[in-house]
Structure 1
Amino acid sequence: MTADPSKPRRRRIGWRGAAITASVTVLILGAFAALIASGHLWPNRIFASSHTTRGIDVSSYQGAIDWTVLSSEDIDFAIIKATEGSGAQDSRFAKNWSDAHETDLLVGAYHFMSFESEGATQAQNVIDTVPDAPGSLPVTVDLEFYGDFFDNPPTRTHVRNILDPLLAALEDHYGTPPIIYATPDAYDRYVRDDYPDNPIWIRSVALPPRLSDERDWTIWQYSHRDRLRGYNGDEQYIDMNVFAGTLDEMRALAAQSAR
């Protein structure tokens, strides 16, 4: 059929054009992913900005911390690693705890829970390490997978046999229900539909969190690749968090620990 010269011709992209378009798309997506991986672009920062009470969590990986400098970085609270399992203590906890309490920050401690020792002995490790300081945030139990447990998660019954006595002993000693920190997978397996008195601290570094049982979160860890002034350790990044309420409401949470 002879083409009508009065009508504009449609351009056909063809396989070469499609291949070029696909390559450009891959490059753009790769650059976007690289920016996220480098910590220069993190979508959650936009969503988290609607929450005005911000904080950090740190461990010995952040090295020596100048708490005067770090506390001036537009943060309101700090949660510091204290213990792990039944016998390990973070090498910088005592100094971090003391120095952080010299600032205006609300300060708390966290325990990394092991799946390999009893809850009672883990609780004693926390009690022996973390002072019962009035006005501190409730102790946090960090519930997440590690090592071979990523591929072979322990059963709910196994975890509950550790977690339940650990939480009970810490509440009895410190006078307030501990915070439970969890990844989404750990939350769904071990926490969902239970522990109504324990504040939930959820990790979600890609999108805003939504708990599977529609429960409200108390603290949201929205980034693990921020950079602030005031520390100089092997880990160049620092975890960022927001509190669901106001600073006064977080102070009220801390006041529950006062005796």
Structure 2
Amino acid sequence: MSTESASRTTGRRRRVLFAAAAVGVIIAVVAALIAAGVIWPNRVAAAGYETRGVDVSVYQGDIDWTVLGSEDIDFAIIKSTEGSGSQDSQFAANWAGARDTDLVVGAYHFMSFESAGETQAENVINTVPAEPGTLPVTVDLEYYGDFHDNPPTRSHVKSILDPLLADLEEHYGMPPIIYATQKAYDRYLLDAYPDNPIWIRSIAKEPTLPDDRDWTFWQYSDRDRLPGYDGEEEFIDMNVFDGTVDDLRALTR
């Protein structure tokens, strides 16, 4: 190879390495911005929905609902309970504070795969007031702990979920909302529970349910920040409702 050819080859290699290094830096910067919540893939798609809201738990700490409620949000769904015996320690304060705002308010229960649906329903009923103007209770169906690697069978989940939903509907007078990750939806909810509004988590792209069912709520981000809370978790979950605020209020009891 001539000196000139070798020089050109070396130059090309340097340009390729430089380009690869530049791409690597860009990817790293974008990943860091996503992790920090500065940019988020779904925000553009979610901006097409006019009715927005948050879901919160003890991890957001003390919430100033006057401040948070004055943000560009229309609803708040608050963690109340988990399993058959656990209550969120901030639920009562969050419920009272949110109810003093103009937000449409609801509660959610984190469903356990390890206790009966009937006793989980009792936990919810003993914790969440059946107040006019509030949303149906949400049952949060997602994997946790070792169940990520060893998910329970559909029949096992059905044996818990069915009585839980039935007892909550009987007490509150409305079919509960079901929140699910995409994996949980595909395994446990596909082609089932047609009377229950679906709240789907999809933080990478706008969701499309595989059975062509319409979702009612969409959790599009777990990396937003809003003023008004000071807790262990610096971020807050953001959601949209597929409809107007009037449509949302029509879901309330």
| TM-score of the alignment, normalized to the shorter chain, above 0.5 | yes
Alignment partner for residue 108 of structure 2, among 107, 110, 117?
Answer: 110
Task: Give the Å deviation of 1:16.
Answer: 2.9
Instruction: Provide Cα deviations, 1:111-162, integer angstroms capped at 9, x if missing partner.
Output: 0000000000000000000000011000000000100011111111111110
> Residue 129 of structure 1 aligns to a residue in which SS?
coil
Instruction: Provide Cα deviations, 1:48-95, integer angstroms capped at 9, x if missing partner.
Output: 001010000000000011101100011100000000000000001011
2:242 matched to which residue of 1? 244
Alignment partner for residue 118 of structure 2, among 97, 117, 120?
Answer: 120
2:4 matched to which residue of 1? none
2:215 matched to which residue of 1? 217
Of residues 19-28 and 233-242 in structure 1, the stretch that sits farther from structure 2 once superposed is 19-28
> Residue 251 of structure 2 aligns to a residue in which SS?
helix
Task: Give the Å deviation of 1:20.
Answer: 1.8
Alignment partner for residue 173 of structure 2, among 170, 175, 180?
Answer: 175
Alignment partner for residue 207 of structure 1, among 198, 205, 208?
Answer: 205
Distance 2:189 2:229 in 1: 33
Counterpart of 2:167, as a letter, is A
2:32 matched to which residue of 1? 34
Residue 47 (1) aligns with residue 45 (2): yes
1:78 matched to which residue of 2? 76
TM-score normalized by structure 2? 0.95
Alignment of 1:9-158 (within 5 A): 14-158=12-156
Distance 1:246 1:48 in 2: 14
2:182 matched to which residue of 1? 184
Task: Give the Å deviation of 1:15.
Answer: 2.9
Of residues 12-21 and 220-229 in structure 1, the stretch that sits farther from structure 2 once superposed is 12-21
Aligned CA RMSD, in angstroms, stands at 1.0
Distance 2:75 2:151 in 1: 32
Counterpart of 2:99, as a letter, is H
Distance 1:36 1:224 in 2: 11
Task: Give the Å deviation of 1:17.
Answer: 2.3
Task: Give the Å deviation of 1:187.
Answer: 0.3
Distance 2:90 2:135 in 1: 19
Distance 2:130 2:57 in 1: 19
Alignment partner for residue 196 of structure 2, among 195, 198, 215?
Answer: 198
Distance 2:21 2:165 in 1: 52
Task: Give the Å deviation of 1:42.
Answer: 0.5
Counterpart of 2:57, as a letter, is S
- Gapped regions of structure 1 (runs ≥ 5): 1-10
2:157 matched to which residue of 1? 159
Distance 1:176 1:95 in 2: 24
- Percent sequence identity over matched residues? 68
Number of aligned residues: 245
2:5 matched to which residue of 1? none
